[in-house]
Structure 1
Amino acid sequence: MDEDVFYADCPHCDRYEFRDEDAWFEHVSMCEWEQQQDREREEEE
């Protein structure tokens, strides 16, 4: 049985295949948060 793949670009990284729209939304939110953390860490150095 073929699994459906939801294609959508993450604006924060190169990933574009997700299980479904919810998985995509969750990934984008986490990815955005992680990049925010990285920026804050860089500013502290």
Structure 2
Amino acid sequence: MIVKKEDGYYVLSEKTRRNLGGPYKTEDEARKRLRQVEFFKHQKG
């Protein structure tokens, strides 16, 4: 999930609210990071 705080946009875990990236200046940058997290989460290994 993407959350806007005073110093920028953060990518947080939906379950634990753990910080997965940020602060980002724009919401688009945060959205790009969220896509990276989702990609690696669903990779088979």
For normalisation by structure 2, the TM-score amounts to: 0.52
C-alpha RMSD of the superposition: 2.3
Unaligned residue ranges in structure 1 (runs of 5+): none
Instruction: Flag the structure with higher strand content.
Output: 2
Percent sequence identity is: 14
Aligned residues, how many?
35
Larger Rg: 1
Paired position in structure 2 for 1:21: 27
For normalisation by structure 1, the TM-score amounts to: 0.52
